[in-house]
Structure 1
Amino acid sequence: MILESYMNTGKPLDLLSVTGKPFSYDPRDPYTFYNYRNNTDWLDAISQTGYNQDYNLSVRGGSAKVRYSFSAGYYNTKGNSIGTGLSRINTRLNLDYFVSDKIRFSADIAYTHSENQRNLLPGGSESNDVRSRAYTMMPNQGIYEYNELGVQMPTYFTPLNGPQGSYPSIFNPIALADLGSFNLTSEKIIPHLQVQIKPNEVWRYTFDVGFDVGNDRKEKFLSSSATGVNWYDSKYFNEASLSEPESFVIQTFNKLYYTPRLDENKHRLIVMMQLNTYSRESYSFDVGTAGSPSNYLTDPVNYYILDNELTSGVGQQRSMSVLANANYTFLDRYIIYGNVALNGNSRFGKNYRYGTFPAISGRWRVSGEPFMKAIKGTWLDDLSLRASYGITGRSPDSDYLYFNRYSSYSYGYLGESTSYPSSLELKELRWERSIQNNYGLNFVALDYKLNAEFDYYLRVTKDQYSASTSIPTSSGFSSMALNYGVLRNEGWEFNINYIPVRTPDLTVNIAFNVAREENSVTKLSEYADLDNFEDWSSNGTYITRIVAGQPHGAFYGYKYAGVYLNADETIAVGKDGQPIMTTDAGGNLVPLHMKFGYPTLEYTFQPGDAKYVDVNSDGQINYQDIVYLGDYNPLFYGGITPSIKWKNWSLNTVFYYRYGNDIVNAARMQLENMYGFNNQATSVLRRWRHEYADADAAPKDLLPRALHAQGYNWLASDRFVEDGSFIRWKSFTLRYNLTRKLLSRLNLQEAYAYFTMQNVLLLTNYTGQDPEIRIGSFQDNARTPVPKSYNFGLSVSF
């Protein structure tokens, strides 16, 4: 197919060139012949069987005055891609000391140490990870190097330049996973202290102070043996980096409770006033170097800095909150709750640093009314109606946005260091305010065997915040943090739990929930760039933008209409359904053939090219033909959790599902583009190779022709958009509890054994690796899928 893709461009591949030799299969060039005559399954080579180990120990004890508990755990896992794993140790100590019945001191301290082994991401791009690269590597290339005698060597085959390119865009994924190291060591200690003073039954005061001290050490090293670069390549030869971010957080909580003594049969009142403070300080240090003389010298500070990269940073954030709330109950039937909070955050400029956020809710227990006495106790146990209204606030996720910040270049000018403005001064950022109305119903019946809840909500978010909103590039920036508009969310959720069988020996329980949410942008800021189509002409690049009337999370592109089967089909058709005519060099009227990007690009579509819908019927495909393709928001989502308990045995299962979300199968797009030297899927065997005079003679699933590094056969279109609906059997747990008689013999308090299986089964029509992609994303690049795991466990309490 490689030769065919070149022939279709009119420039045959030179089999004597560096690019063409791997496809000549000429034994007279034995080194190239042996290293490019393989049939490598790169995905299988990068995969491994992972495992998990999880051990936990806890001790509790004390007296009337002092109580304590201590727990420790060790977790170890090996990932299902080579070079990945995680080990973690965690401990926690809790102490409670009762000075008297009015004063209590509490303290707990948690410590966690983890070591995470990851695969490097060349160029820092998540789409360039080893698993994605394994999908697209040429299968005829070998993993290990062969010498000219055809003997496999112990070294990896990492050519400096190959048909697919050179590092960092192309690399041997097995070599990088094996010889590259990315170790993340994390330390975290979280102490927490509390004092509670309760002078009487009416007043109670608690003071909490918590700390969160964290330190990460990220060490990266990549040997040139994994990349094939030469020693004089100052940027990539034995590259190393070290990053050490630290953070220190202190939080305080002051709570004063007032619970007056009222007639509890009629009135109950709880009032709380609270003052919270939050302070975070962060420090970071980063250094990146290259040119280590040895693979054993992996510390970037040990050798000459060729690729000079040395940065540090300091950050600080402060926030405070004052709130008051009250909860009043009358006759155990009417419940009213009110809350008001004043929040302040240092991430805003002085004009909008503080925000006020009130809330109120009520509940009516209809089943407690006198007129319900005839029903309650027969088959109805509880019926309640709920309603609430509230405003919540959200602050930006970055510090110092109200400053005009500058950054330094990694190179100088005339021997002097240089700097540039890296952000705009954003003094007018405001609190994102979500105004929500919620209405709900609770229903309990059949002797508490049936429990159902229904909630409906409408949330309007004003001054919706985005950390990166596209703006006109005439500003000197392509994006900025912005309160970009108003977002409307409307949805509902239904939960039901039913116990069809409940006997001393057997209990069957079924829980089900389903939810739906719709969102749309109803208003946009005048600063948002509505016509940002900078990537409309790039293959494989979907456009994401915020458009009034469309949902948040929408993406845009072209409508795919199949393949141009013959030359006649490439003739442009106007709005009247007739061919569009133009004049040739001789002044004769001739049909106009479809073009792309005229007059900037002026590509004329040929038979075998991908066909896109000409929305405005102007005889060309360009940004005016871009339409809404879909969004990642599901129409419905929820879960099902059946469980059975029979004597000492119990079985618990969890299912969950999504329905109606759209996914761009980016992995399939790379495996079907026939654009370069990347490995391709077997579906490309159905590609166009000759003209079809009769459309009925062409396969319905015909793919465009192979076209090397030319054309627009894989533009962002609905061709690669798939339904991401799925239902996953997430877990299955079988547990056996030892009988009381056996526990007594063994002097044990409790003991049970269990078997758990995770990711049991997946049902979907999605053709990619896994439809359960990261929330908030619409592209599937076929990264590490959810693994299937089997766990055997034993728990014993003395």
Structure 2
Amino acid sequence: MRFSVIFISFMFLLSGVLTGQDRQVRGLITDATDGTPLIGATVMVAETTTGTVTDFNGEFDIRVPEGGSLVVSYLGYDNYTVAVDGRTTIDIEMSSTAAMLEELVVVGYGTKQRKDITGAVTSVEAKDLEKKPITRLENILQGQAAGVQVNQFSGAPGNSISVRIRGATSLSAGNEPLYVIDGVPVLNTEGINPADVESLEVLKDASASAIYGARAANGVVLITTKKGVPGKPKISLSTSVGFSQITKTLDLLDAAGYVDLVNESYVNAGQAPVLDGADFTEDTDWQDEVYRNATTTNHQLSLSGGNGKTRYFVSGSQQRQEGVVRESDFQRTGLRVNFSTELKPGFELGTTMNLSRVSFNSVPDNNRVNQGGVILGALSSPPIIGILNEDGTYTTNPLQAWENPVANIIAPQDQSATNRIVGNLYAAFDVLPGLRFKTSFGIEAYANKNDYFLDPFSTQFGRSLQGIGIASTNQEMIWLTENTLTYDYSAGAHAFTFLGGITAQESAYESTYARAEGFPNGAVTTLNAGSRKIDASTGASQWALFSYLGRVSYKFQEKYLADVSFRADGSSRFGAGNRFAYFPSVSLGWRVSEEGFLKGNDAINDLKIRVSAGMTGNQNIGDFASYGLFATGANYNFNGQIFPGTRPSTISNENLRWETTSQVNIGFDLALFDFRANLTMDYYLKNTSDLLVNVDLPRSTGFGSGIQNLGEVRNQGLEFSLKTYNVRGKKVDWSTNFNASTNSNEVINIGGPDKVIFAGGIPERGDAVIVREGLPLGSFFGWVSEGVSPVTGDIVFSDLNDDGIIDDEDRTVIGDANPDVLLGLNNSITIGGLSLDVLFQATIGNDVLNATRIETEGMFTVNNALATTATRWQNEGDITRIPRAVFGDPNQNSRISSRFIEDGSHLRLRNVTLSYNLPTELLSRFKVQTMSVYFSGQNLWILSDYSGYDPEVNRDGGSAISQGIDYGTYPQSKIFTGGLKLEF
């Protein structure tokens, strides 16, 4: 804290350095065609790093030395230079041009002008981030980038989000992209405040991402945080408050309907009725008891600016989000410090540092009620019981001793907190003209602590073990050092940029786990209060990477482009002879619009054709996967004494090597009608070979399974992006961003046409997913339902092999969790100071296994059920889709079948934000530079035939194999937010 105070004070002092000969200059920046004020135009003092940006009225205010000039720049317009010549007021009209082609785009280990990009790169700017109140940084990519699928597979506050760039490539080695924050590769983005981010670049093809080699098979997301703008110190304050509610509830049977269903199921099973409705007076709606209207708050304060050669950005933030399920919440507190200075010409020193604390109160989902699952508990718990017994303990199912869902929420205390630091210190200096050396040292370190306690009185499970206490910790320290040389060389029409470097990275991980039982009461929850110490263990692990990298970029006459990159990565995770792998790429670009036959064309402002090919890798497996490991706990008795022992636990594989993804990309970029329409299209084909798969082994080896390189997966698809500036006027500005993409996924090889891998297990129902050659990952596998027999009331299943028996041989592929098409449509409209942003997102062609209906329409147990079961078969001749109720399910009507496969296609109104910028004349009286108020809504509306809570769901998180399973998953919610933003 002392350091922070000193640092901030130092920044204020630096920002106050002014010369006595400066002149205050004010002015207005407008569009030369229609007079529209240009908001956010950059105004710099020529040949200095002093500058500012225009406010919401297009106005600026800056101090300029005597004899100085101003340089004004704005995306989509020509740069404009004007001498001050003693004036104090200067109004400037700017002409639209190809300046957007000159903007810098962050690429691996450097930047490039957009016109020189030869790979498939999608950018998201800070202004797009600021318009939406989001919790996780990945949310901003939803519907915004072609070829990028963002799945928020759970509505739990702060929950992880799965991002797929051009499909899933790996069976078990991870499919999430590599996130790089200010040059530091990170494990995840959990502690990053979205408001601190300046831009995101998504590197999709091998040409763009191969420079990161070993970890780039799933694409790369480059995140650049704010650095501050030279000029007067700027203080920014943002605060918002919102509330959320579940998007919908499901109709369930009431108490009378439940009693009838249970008694009927016993009678149909040849037993007597077990419930008398007169014995029960409760009619509890468990959804009302479990769900709530929740609140969200978000506050952040930042200081930024600089003068001359120094820039700084300091911010603090605090966000708290309650979940729509009682007792669940998420909190994030963060501090960011970014600082850079030019100590002398050609010598820059800087640092970026982010400190965060993230905490969760979790509730269990994705499980049945007898396993603590809250969501399935809310749907299947009997309505005939209340929440508490007279003695203050929680009620249980009267027919089976299962806790009610409120007990599973309130009785356990399950808290997790993570402290994290991500930072980077760098120095860069010019060795020779055109030759620049940069060295950096980065760290990512976190410490996580999880505490669980269940008291010994309130629940049956707690009483059976006299209370349970669990404490666990995980901590990891990762350091990274990178050293690069960059050389720029030009000779006439030829321009080269050479990049070479060496990087080294290492991780050290530790964990602890302890469990105790036998607590005297719930007053002391620490493990020392437990009379029985059940388990205690510690663990440690390490990994390391060492890499060489290089890239050559070539440009001839501003129209012929080429990039060649190469990276060699050595990983400690692979066999001694296979630790190094090599990842080359090449890309070519032709700016056709610069050719004589198109030069000066009124309609076509820019046309570039791109072709690329390259290789990337994947190493996301266990730290010691190639070694034969030993497990502890194999203790043995020798002469009446117990001696510690170990046993082999994994088989060694010295031949283990990298997964490798080879990718070809063909695309073009087209700008039309004075850059009013900007179109990008790409076709890609990528093959992932040497899949890292845990396969079954012959029993003669002494091991059940082992990890091997086996198989191949292919992805291919099309991407389409169109951004248009529909209206550009004095009072109205309207732009549209539309994107669409397709991806076809296929397993090419996993060891032979008869080889299969099963996954997606449903309790007591077996596996629901199959991996087999010729099928896409995420293929559902089960029986085909032909409907309910009017005669027997049982489901009729297809006898696919015509042997007269319904058995495992009649299972087949019954669905595909992969979407055929992803769509996104964003409209931004500004009328004066009023702005409206509307984002629609659509997913077409994906299937969902609604395994929640197995529990709520299965008709085989004493659970409550959906109201649809009131139309169940009861008498011969009944025509219905709901089978008879029969305890024990002798016909296995609830087996995994097409009966539970639903269309997950949907159109969602993802976000609506309405904001108003108050007039500058009004604000100037209070010395406020800008002020805006906004109202935002998320997940306001969805068009879908899915019968569950939400079709965007996956019980198994980011798994590529087991996708699209809904099994009591925490539902998503509508969120309404109001906020205020101020700048001083």
Q: TM-score, normalised by structure 1?
A: 0.85
- How far apart are 1:557 and its partner, in Å? 0.6
Would you say 1:701 and 2:701 are equivalent positions?
A: no
Q: Is the 8 A contact 1:730 1:760 kept in 2?
A: yes
Looking at structure 1, the residues matched to 386 and 486 of structure 2 have their Cα atoms a distance apart, in angstroms, of 71
Residues 61, 125 of structure 1: alpha-carbon distance in 2 compared, 3 angstrom cutoff: farther
The aligned residue for residue 664 of structure 1 is 849
Q: Could you tell me which of 602, 615, 622 is aligned with 2:800?
A: 615
Alpha-carbon separation, structure 2, partners of 1:122 and 1:652: 34
Distance 1:407 1:434, change over 3 A: same
Q: 1:97 to 1:681 in 2, by over 3 A?
A: same
CA gap of 1:640–1:174, structure 2 versus 1, over 3 A, is same
Asked if 1 retains the 8 angstrom alpha-carbon contact of 2:369 and 2:376, the reply is: no
CA distance in 1, matches of 2:722, 2:266: 61
Take 1:703 and 1:622, find their aligned partners in 2: how far apart are those partners?
19
The structure 1 residue matched to 2:448, chosen from 216, 221, 244, is 216
Q: Which residue of 2 aligns with 1:7?
A: 267
Pairing of 1:590-609 with structure 2 (within 5 A): 607-609=792-794
CA contact (8 A) 2:369 2:403 kept: no
Change over 3 Å in CA distance of 1:3–1:390 after alignment to 2: same
Partner SS state of residue 875, structure 2: coil
Q: Secondary structure at the match of 1:746?
A: coil
Structure 1 residue 703: deviation in Å? 2.5
Q: How far apart are 1:536 and its partner, in Å?
A: 11
In structure 1, the partner of 2:319 is 75
Unaligned runs of 5+ in 1: 14-19, 27-32, 147-152, 567-606, 693-697
Equivalent pair of 1:661/1:723 in contact (CA under 8 Å): yes
CA distance in 2, matches of 1:51, 1:12: 48
Aligned counterpart for 2:908 among listed residues 718, 728, 731: 728
Is 2:974 the counterpart of 1:788? yes
Counterpart among 337, 348, 363 of residue 563 in structure 2: 337
Partner of 1:585: none
Do residues 770 (structure 1) and 955 (structure 2) align? Answer: no
Residue 659 of structure 2 corresponds to which residue in structure 1?
Answer: 432
Q: 1:551 aligns with which of 736, 757, 776?
A: 776
Is the 2:411–2:459 contact (alpha carbons within 8 Å) kept by the matching residues of 1?
Answer: no
Aligned to 1:297: 524
- Secondary structure of residue in 2 paired with 1:370: coil
Deviation of the 1:733 alpha carbon: 0.7
In the alignment, which residue of structure 1 is the partner of 2:399? Answer: 163
Which structure is larger by alpha-carbon Rg, 1 or 2?
1
Q: Report the counterpart of residue 101 of structure 1 in structure 2.
A: 345
Asked if 1:309 corresponds to 2:535, the answer is: yes
The answer to whether 1:681 aligns with 2:866 is yes
Mark the CA change 1:125 to 1:492 in structure 2 (over 3 Å): closer, same or farther. farther
Quote the residue 1:507 is aligned against: 733
Return the alpha-carbon distance in structure 2 between the equivalents of residues 536 and 754 of structure 1. Answer: 45
Matched, 1:737 2:961: no
1:267-305 Cα distance to aligned partner (Å, 9 max, x none) = 211110021111110000000111111101211234322
CA distance in 2 between partners of 1:743 and 1:780 (Å): 51
SS of equivalent to 2:724 = strand
How does 1:440-519 map onto structure 2 within 5 Å?
Answer: 440-466=667-693, 468-469=694-695, 479-519=705-745
- Does residue 403 of the first structure (1) align with residue 627 of the second (2)? yes
Residue 788 of structure 1 aligns with an amino acid whose one-letter code is K
1:590: which partner in 2? none
Identify the residue that residue 202 of structure 2 maps to in structure 1: none
Given the alignment, which residue of 389, 400, 416 partners 1:145?
389
For 2:374 and 2:761, how far apart are their aligned partners in 1? 28
Q: Deviations over 1:709-750 (max 9, x none)?
A: 533111111000001000110111111112232232222222
* Structure 1 residue identity aligned to 2:838: T
Equivalent residue in structure 2 for 1:381, among 601, 605, 610: 605
Match of 2:469 in 1: 240
Q: How far apart are 1:756 and its partner, in Å?
A: 1.0
The secondary structure found in structure 2 opposite 1:732 is strand
Superposed CA offset, 1:394-448 (max 9, x none): 1132111122223344997674556554333233322111110000011110111
Counterparts of 1:308-327 in structure 2, within 5 Å, are: 308-327=534-553
Q: Which amino acid aligns with 2:790?
A: L
Counterpart pick for 1:201 among 433, 436, 461: 433
Question: C-alpha distance in 2, partners of 1:91/1:671?
Answer: 46
- In 1: Cα distance, 2:763 partner to 2:361 partner: 35
3-state SS of 1:261 partner = strand
Deviations 1:457-500 (A, max 9, x none): 0001111234x455667766555433330111110110111222
2:334 corresponding residue in structure 1: 90
Q: Secondary structure at the match of 2:410?
A: helix
Paired position in structure 2 for 1:779: 965
Q: Is the 2:635–2:646 Cα contact (8 Å) retained in structure 1? A: no
- Paired with 2:769 and 2:479, the residues of 1 have a C-alpha distance of 38
Cα distance in 1 between the residues matched to 2:936 and 2:867: 36
Q: Residues of 2 paired with 1:225 and 1:454: CA distance?
A: 63
CA gap of 1:86–1:363, structure 2 versus 1, over 3 A, is same
Aligned equivalent of 2:286, options 34, 38, 42: 42
CA distance in 2 between partners of 1:371 and 1:532 (Å): 56
CA distance in 2, matches of 1:74, 1:536: 39
Secondary structure of residue in 2 paired with 1:371: coil
- Structure 2 distance, partners of 1:209, 1:474, is 49
Partners of 1:471 and 1:529 within 8 A in 2:
no
**Cα distance in structure 2, aligned partners of 1:739 and 1:790:** 26
Deviation at 1:60, TM superposition (A): 1.9
Q: Residues 451 and 292 (structure 1 numbering): CA distance in 2 closer, same or farther, change over 3 Å?
A: same
Q: Deviation per CA, 1:742-793, whole angstroms, max 9, x where unpaired?
A: 2322222222111111111111011111001135422112422221111111
Unpaired segments of 5 or more residues in structure 2? 1-260
Higher deviation after alignment, 193-202 or 323-332? 193-202
Change (3 A) 1:538 1:79: closer
What is the number of equivalent residue pairs in this alignment?
Answer: 715
Q: 1:638 to 1:226 in 2, by over 3 A?
A: farther
How far did residue 333 of structure 1 move?
0.7
| Residues 1:730 and 1:554: Cα distance change in structure 2 (over 3 Å) | same
For residues 659-699 of structure 1, give each alpha carbon's deviation from its aligned partner in whole angstroms, at most 9, with x where no partner exists. Answer: 0011001111211111111111122122222323xxxxx42
Matched to 2:399, the amino acid is: P
Change in 2 beyond 3 A, CA 1:208/1:488: same
Residue 24 (structure 1) aligned to one of 276, 281, 284: 276
Q: Distance in 2 between matches of 1:364 and 1:99?
A: 40
Aligned to 2:80: none
Equivalent in 573, 578, 598 of residue 347 of structure 1: 573
Native 8 Å contact 1:614 1:625 kept in 2? yes
Higher RCO (Cα < 8 Å, 6 or more apart): 2
Mapped contact 1:530–1:545 kept (Cα < 8 A):
no
CA distance in 2, matches of 1:681, 1:83: 25
CA distance in 2, matches of 1:162, 1:419: 46
Compared CA separation, residues 178 and 211, structure 1 to 2 (3 A) = same
Deviates further, 237-246 or 557-566 = 557-566
Distance in 1 separating the partners of 2:372 and 2:703? 26
- Structure 1 residues 173, 126: closer, same or farther in 2, change over 3 A? closer
Q: Is residue 716 from structure 1 mapped to residue 877 from structure 2 by the alignment?
A: no
